[in-house]
Structures are given as C-alpha cells and as structure tokens.
Amino acid sequence: AQSVAQPEDQVNVAEGNPLTVKCTYSVSGNPYLFWYVQYPNRGLQFLLKYITGDNLVKGSYGFEAEFNKSQTSFHLKKPSALVSDSALYFCAVRGTGANNLFFGTGTRLTVIP
C-alpha cells in the first residue's frame, strides 16, 4: 500500500522568508513522488517530481524538494516566499504498479506581506 502524509494543515510564512511544506510517504516499492499546487477555483498545477536520481529536485516557480529515503520524506522548499505563493499544496505518490496518484490532505500556505 502507498500513502503520503502532510502533517501541517496550515503553514504561515513572512514574505521573503524561506518556506517548507512537509510530506512523508509510505510505499512498498520505489517511491515516485510529486508536488502539486492548487489556487482557488482552479485545478492542480504540477510543480515537480522525484522519480530517481538526485535527491534535490528543482521545479517550477523557484520551488524545490528534497527527497530523503532514510526519513521517507519529500519536503517542498523555496528560498524566498512570495505573497503569490499562497495556495493549497498537495504531495502525492504514484500507486505501485499503477499510474494513479495518492494525494495527501493538503497544506494551506499563507505568505504574509
């Protein structure tokens, strides 16, 4: 079975400060991990993915994520937060032997001006 957990429902950060949105995963095989962002009344936008290779993955809009196998984590990071980064962030893991995604419960990020 596979699942992801996002332990924080809400993260607040001041504009210009670094941000981290946490995600831990549980899979029975190789982890294929994704981050998506959702703005109000919109679908999900792909940010980045980890399939294999370097543990630090760079994605869209200045976001990056660090894959940590020993801690089974895939935290999303950005060095300097923008007010426009305020949105709902979802971590997801691909199903074992399947193409579908299992999503976390989401973390609402608020960047305070």
Partner 1 sequence: KAGVTQTPRYLIKTRGQQVTLSCSPISGHRSVSWYQQTPGQGLQFLFEYFSETQRNKGNFPGRFSGRQFSNSRSEMNVSTLELGDSALYLCASSLEPSVYNEQFFGPGTRLTVL
Q: Is 42 in the site for partner 1 (CB under 8 A)?
A: yes
Convert residues 11-30 into a mask of x (bound to partner 1 by CB under 8 A) and - (unbound).
Answer: -------------------x
* Block residue for tokens 């679908």: 43
Q: Is 100 in the site for partner 1 (CB under 8 A)?
A: yes
Window of 13-21, 66-74, 79-87, 90-98 that interacts with partner 1 by CB under 8 A: 90-98
Q: Is 23 left (phi over 0), alpha (psi -120 to 50) or beta?
A: beta
Q: Which long-range contacts (CB under 8 A, 24 or more apart) does 49-55 make?
A: 50/74
Site for partner 1 in 48-77 (CB under 8 A): 49, 51
